[in-house]
Chains A and B, each alone.
Chain A
């Protein structure tokens, strides 16, 4: 096989495209978890985003309405979670799991009328610049706006948490809701906002799948990516930049194993298929093995209900 430089560029571009939904959903969930809330409903919120985006695109014909509608749908379904866990103080784990089951069920119900309809083409930007630079051309240009947003998001998230006042408040609420509350911070309000933000990002991740990546609706089309996004948050030790690395490794190995099969590398296919999961976990564990840092970055009150300021 000829390894030319543009071929490598194409592979890297496909890896990045496959990492987009993971980055979006993980960065959203990271903010939710940093505020001390564990929402296991990512898969459910993603699939709701996927069907909402696709349905709105088909019905209204507007891509902008569809994208924002999908985010809004993610917000709405996460409001249910927020109301249950923050106002009614239900258990985070059980409520999150219920949210996923609910999301998958209701998306299938809404989706019945949208099966077998082809999606619209989503516009890409800088398409013309693709061939101007070898290697970097296909990596940097010719993608959708959501793609660029996803790759900026980990850096924005990192900056938000470290350098802004609101970011500090989110972390304070996640680490010690009691002290935050004593400082006059409305813990419940902050957590509501973080849950809703996580819902919006999961909704966007779902819409990316059904509108841009594979423009169609079929039931269960998220295929467990919500769970992978959740795992990335934990294994990255709540660090947005490491989420980016993890998502790239995961997407990368999925795609490279297909290439290895096509080239005819004699490694058992089952092993190649398992590779993305194994290697992503190993790498993230290794780069995050400093236990002091883990303690510092883990939101101390993660998954615990906060009763005080009812």
Chain B
């Protein structure tokens, strides 16, 4: 208890000091709140790469890692808002309510919440990436490269973001190869190398020769490398972890958006926005295509990438049916953002049920 008191005292002194410094300097200061450790080499790591881009652009940044999505988040946000930060990025879905609550108390601080939909106050913006566009490309590659026609997919948690990815992937794979089967295994973790590797191994043992993942670690691509099957990198370019297995990766690229928004705060042009950027805006990046892919597939993928970027092709273009055969998106139409944001049903061709 003693030590705790001393520590809190020292940290409040430090806080007071930073406060004074912040009041003197006119520079814009940005803060980032992370759900995981920056050392996860996945979700949080990529946000931190974005933060470093902000730093490189000449702004001061702070970050707090491993913040639980609970009352702790509010406390951290209040502390950051109180200590002279002008813009705060909250980088996990669960920070949605704390962000809006604290935003109300600090109308002069700008809040940017990732992957949420609540903007209850004029100083709250939301942003997310259209990762499903990347999965359309992965599906196209997987459908072409598979020989066994069984594609494995290691999923994390049954939320719209993940379901949307599975659907987008399967639709694209079926388009190039109507005979494929997508086998899904739920790991119920974002981040446990051992478990992810075991899930991938189970899929490989059952005949999958291409493995896709919606969990964060590099364990899956390494397992694929060992077993001699193909895989795709998640969140960052994972090629060096499994040079033979990784055909390409879908990278989360937050840097340009972060720099943009912090600059807007500095120029006084910041306004509330709901951003959902994809390949076209560079928030979703496709890594180099592996040379093991035939040349015609590579050029096909390049073209698809360009068409997704320009909006000529949409990942969810009708006709799309759900598992029971009900029409979800009519022929010639595309799914609107509302449908995408709340997507909780599998499309036709995905096997199994969504865990409830």
Contacts and interface: CB of A to CB of B under 8 A. Distances in A.
Interface of A: 1, 7, 10-11, 14, 18, 108, 111-112, 115-116, 118-119, 209, 213-221, 223, 225, 254-255, 258-259, 261-264, 266, 268-270, 273
B353 A18 contact: no
B152 interface: yes
A258 B208 CA distance: 13
A223 B45 contact: no
Contacts of A259: 202, 205-206
B352 A264 contact: yes
A85 B192 CA distance: 32
Contacts of A273: 186, 188
Given A14-B201, A218-B193, A261 B41 contact: no
B136 interface: no
Interface string B173-207: 00000000001111111011111111101110110
Nearest to A273: B188
Given A116-B41, A268-B356, A223 B202 contact: no
Contacts of A223: 189, 192-195
B219 interface: yes
Given A262-B183, A270-B355, A221 B205 contact: no
A14 B193 contact: no
B201 A255 contact: yes
Nearest to A220: B37
Contacts of B242: 118
Contacts of B276: none
B41 to A, nearest CB: 5
A268 B198 contact: no
Given A10-B205, A216-B218, A216-B222, A261 B195 contact: no
B275 to A, nearest CB: 27
Nearest to A118: B241
Contacts of A270: 188, 355
Given A118-B240, A219-B39, A262 B203 contact: yes
B202 A255 contact: yes
B186 A261 contact: yes
Given A217-B39, A258-B199, A264-B351, 9 more contacts: A10-B205, A112-B38, A116-B41, A213-B193, A215-B222, A216-B41, A219-B36, A255-B201, A261-B352
B206 A262 contact: yes
Interface string B17-59: 0000000000000000000111111100100000000000000
Contacts of B36: 219
A269 B187 CA distance: 9
Contacts of B149: none
Given A118-B241, A225-B194, A264-B352, A112 B39 contact: yes
12 contacts: A108-B37, A115-B40, A119-B222, A209-B193, A216-B41, A218-B41, A219-B36, A220-B37, A258-B187, A258-B199, A262-B152, A262-B184
A218 B39 contact: yes
Nearest to A111: B39
A1 B201 contact: no
B217 interface: yes
B222 A116 contact: no
Contacts of B206: 1, 259, 262-263
